[in-house]
Structure 1
Amino acid sequence: MNIQLLCDSLCDIPDEIAAKPYLEVIPLTVMFDNEEFREGIDISKEEFYKRVKSTGEIPKTSQATYIEFREAFDKYTSEGKKIICITGSSKSSGTYQSATLAKEDCENGEIFVFDTLNLSLGSGQYVIKACELIDEGKNYEEVLEELDNIRESVHLLFVPSTLTYLKKSGRVPSATATIGNLLHVQPLFYVENGDIKMLEKIRGAKKVPHTMVDVLLDMNDGNLEDKIVTIGCGANYDEMKGLEEEVRKRIKARKVMFTRGGVCICSHTGPDIIALSSSL
């Protein structure tokens, strides 16, 4: 195996993917007041959910650094590895830029920094696909080519339980967040070319799973038999079960996987969120 796969922690991936021996996750940092925690190292997802829900704090986040990427690149190129580094969207975080700068300063080895132009489960789909290809024995160039080929097939939908966090991070207007919270309307968001957009407004939590599956089916022309579907949630695992039931009842996919929203993603969306993604 001469391929080393890296991703940043904006890529939300299932535990079985994170455990791959050739994959390393470069953490972003979350900040509560004057305390800093590296995602997945100094603070777990469960610890983060608990702290946010018990204190009501809305933490800040910081991109993965040049130094972290440079150290990882130097380590693996010195071992003769060819590196594929998959990052969350360059439009939402400076992490892609950090990785690119680190790559430019590495004099030896092959390194490719791949901008998913997506987030969370959407970015995670590229990591899942890369692992699948590596496990099939595909070479470096074949993996890179296929990652680029699946761009049009990657879809991400998510519904936060409140707009307070997205308002604070500037990703939805203040007036939209206030009205949405007052009217108990749950907006359905999607990511397109790195931008977060509102697709529609869902009135009533019970309608959310059905609507999300409707939309995903429509985005895939009603057929996901050749696709990987990933279901995600934050602290609200019980709410996710309703979405999982809807997916298993109405979608026939090549593979269905599950993950939890990461610390830095949920700093912007809130700890209670459900998400659905698909890709080839």
Structure 2
Amino acid sequence: MIKITADSTCDLSPALIDQLNISLMPLHVLIDDEDFRDGVDITPKEIFKYVGEQNKTCTTAAVNTFEYENFFAGLSPKYDAVIHICLGSDFSSSYQNAKLAAENFDNVYVVDSSNLSTGSGHIVYDAALLAEDGIEPEEICKQLENVIPKVDASFVIDKMDYLRKGGRCSSIEALGATLLKIKPSIEVVDGKMHVGKKYRGNFERCLENYVKDRLENNDNIDYSRLFITHSHCAPETVAKVKEAVARFANFEEIIETTAGCTVSSHCGPNTLGILYKRKN
């Protein structure tokens, strides 16, 4: 039997985690240097309270090698193989630390998702399905490596306050975006985050235009699965995004998930993305 594990940043829902029998390794969230474990000791809503209401500083930190060693040690003897999918190596040192820890085990495999949130979640989901089919671990890793470059991950951010507080944009940029009602899209390209198109106006209208830009007249979409992942957007906002998706594409499966502490701490509330796979 093969066990699939992942960093907590994959942002799969608790129901999916349970259904697919996935174990998560929580990253660290630091609030004014107080250490919390993502999804264990702290939730995104608590982050919004600390940062938004109390103006505290929030950062994230990687899982260290010792933590991964303990994590793998508890699973390795129980399974034929353990396949761990990490947050992209350009976003964190978690992948490098997990690789070092895995050297102490003959049956632990570590995969660099080159992505974050449900961009990684797609890889975790696929790994779990392949494991259920009884595919050998080496073949699973090989198939995942083929899928990783095909994941299309992007988000639209309502306000740039959290990016400013995290040092990822200047106060002038944040102020200008607020005054001009600019909602930037953030895209993962070749394992790195880039600013994509900048939308302007009402957040819901920007999201509709964003969905149209990603899906309309796009013949390179794998329609098997789409994640709508958001940091506690209003239900009516998410409903309008689902309606927009249905207008431009026909996915076999649409899964709504809530972004975890990593995306939430960097992007803040009212961040939403549609994440799917390309054919090539």
Equivalent residues, number: 276
Cα 1:186–1:98 shift into 2, 3 Å = same
Partner of 2:90: 91
**Letter of the 1:191 counterpart:** V
Partner of 1:6: 5
Tell me, in whole angstroms, the C-alpha distance in 2 between the residues paired with 1:176 and 1:51: 23
**Letter of the 2:5 counterpart:** L
CA RMSD in angstroms, aligned pairs only: 2.2
Q: Are the aligned partners of 1:12 and 1:259 in contact in 2 as well (CA < 8 Å)?
A: yes
Partner of 2:255: 257
Tell me, in whole angstroms, the C-alpha distance in 1 between the residues paired with 2:65 and 2:169: 29
Q: Are the aligned partners of 2:31 and 2:59 in contact in 1 as well (CA < 8 Å)?
A: yes
How is 1:72-83 mapped onto 2 (pairs within 5 angstroms)? Answer: 72-83=71-82
1:164 aligns to 2:161 (yes or no)? yes
Cα 1:223–1:72 shift into 2, 3 Å = closer
1:19 aligns to 2:18 (yes or no)? yes
Cα 1:207–1:128 shift into 2, 3 Å = same
Q: Are the aligned partners of 1:11 and 1:123 in contact in 2 as well (CA < 8 Å)?
A: yes
Q: CA deviation at 1:50?
A: 4.2
Partner of 2:274: 276
Q: 5+ residue gaps in structure 2? A: none
- Three-state SS of the structure 1 residue aligned to 2:228 is strand
Deviation sequence 1:82-129 (CA, Å, 0-9, x none):
11111111111111121112112x1x3222211111111211111111
Q: Are the aligned partners of 1:49 and 1:235 in contact in 2 as well (CA < 8 Å)?
A: no
Tell me, in whole angstroms, the C-alpha distance in 1 between the residues paired with 2:135 and 2:268: 38
Identity %: 28
**Letter of the 1:260 counterpart:** T
Q: Are the aligned partners of 1:121 and 1:276 in contact in 2 as well (CA < 8 Å)?
A: no
Partner of 2:127: 130
How is 1:1-280 mapped onto 2 (pairs within 5 angstroms)? Answer: 2-20=1-19, 22-104=21-103, 106=104, 108-204=105-201, 205-217=203-215, 220-221=218-219, 223-225=221-223, 227-238=224-235, 239-279=237-277
Moved segments of 4+, more than 4 Å: none
- Three-state SS of the structure 2 residue aligned to 1:10 is helix
Cα 1:218–1:109 shift into 2, 3 Å = farther
Q: 5+ residue gaps in structure 1? A: none
Q: CA deviation at 1:175?
A: 4.2
**Letter of the 1:140 counterpart:** P
- Three-state SS of the structure 2 residue aligned to 1:91 is coil
Deviates more, 1:198-207 or 1:40-49: 40-49
